[in-house]
Amino acid sequence: MAITEDKALAALSTIRIPNGERDIVSAGRLTDLQFSGNTVTAVIGIDPSEAQGFAAVQAAAQSVLAELDGVDTARVILTAHKSAPSPKTPAPRPSPHQARRPEGYLGDSEIGTVIAISSAKGGVGKSTVAVNLAAALTKMGKTVGLLDADIHGPSAPRLLGLLGKQAGTTSAHDRKLIKPFEAYGIKAMSIGFLTDDDGPVVWRGPMVQGAISRMLWDTYWGKLDYLIIDMPPGTGDAQLGLAQDIKPAAAIIVTTPQDLALADARKGARMFDKVSIKLAGLIENMNQFVCSDCGAVHDIFGKSAGAAEAETLGIPYLGSAPLSMALRKSCDSGKPIALDDSPEAQIFADLAKGVLAAL
């Protein structure tokens, strides 16, 4: 029988914190829950002073997980990454929308500007735009990082030719931090570098948000001019939490000309407005298809409407990027097309210039 998140959570809910009336789940101590094959890993957040008292909790949690059907290996990790509530006066589990930035040196301490690339609808090429904007900025001489925050569908490993890579660690500022990969001058971090296989990541909203924040704060980015965050699609917990916890300097909306995509783009724009994140502009992706054989141009997703939509939203229209065979091949090969001297590269160079002008 396959392991399920509900069963694991139910089992862990039977384990109480020391000297407390609440269990580790309802008390907000369970900060992560991962499944890989027949292995389940739980992470429990504690204060350093609680380490001795939580040893029994760790053993009990590991025992109940190991007894679940389908579990061959159960691992429970105690982490003191952030302060936990006092066992005597347990606090309610924090909302995914509450900023919970830890103290001390964090990975984004030396980052100049954080830019979120967003689309409320999946399938509009947001990740392709994010990677090529990062590449275009690097080509302009900027130091750039890319955080692939799409936990359920990471694209950066493939788009940057890093598929199958597993992240390591490095020591810096008295902390052990994740060492990002570097490709074409871009420092990159993705959940794809932290998982063992191509299986789905089945997490709830708060767990997703925790993973996104940790990939930012626990990665040693070093000094960057810009960090591009490829946000997950949608306008739910992960997006709201990311916007509020990380507070990017600006966000860019990516859409296609379709009415469905434009309707979702409006939802994304309203979300950023509600959390007081500046909208630097709108990019219309795949507005046309350019035939590689005859050069004919086709409006396969409908007539361009990006400029009109940007005007309606009251934000800058940064431009459009067509769909072409050359762009598709660059994505599959793992080398951003913005790095070469093609017409598509010039398009992304112009888009990057527009982004900088709008910041």
**What residues are paired with 77 via a beta bridge?**
43
Could you give the angle at the alpha carbon of 252 between the alpha carbons of 137 and 344, nearest 5°?
50
pTM here is 0.69
5-79 and 107-358 in the same fold: no
5-79, CATH topology level: GMP Synthetase; Chain A, domain 3 (3.30.300)
Q: Express each pLDDT in 319-328 by its tens digit.
A: 988 888 889 9
- Going from N- to C-terminal start, the domains of the chain cover 5-79, 107-358
In the predicted model, what is the mean pLDDT of the chain?
A: 82
- Give the pair of three-digit tokens for residue 154: 């990471």
189 residue type, one letter? M
Assign 323 to helix, strand or coil. strand
Domain 107-358 is classified in which CATH homologous superfamily?
Answer: P-loop containing nucleotide triphosphate hydrolases (3.40.50.300)
Q: Express each pLDDT in 65-115 by its tens digit.
A: 989 888 888 889 888 654 434 444 444 444 444 445 666 788 888 999 999
In this prediction, residue 31 has a pLDDT band, given cuts at 50, 70 and 90, of confident
Backbone angles phi and psi of 139, in degrees to 5: -65, -25
Residue with the bigger pLDDT between 291 and 314: it is: 314
pLDDT of residue 250: 92
pLDDT of residue 198: 54
* For residues 176-191, average pLDDT: 92
pLDDT at 158 over 70: yes
Q: Express each pLDDT in 233-278 by its tens digit.
A: 765 666 666 666 778 899 999 988 877 777 877 888 888 887 788 9
**What residues are paired with 175 via a beta bridge?**
172
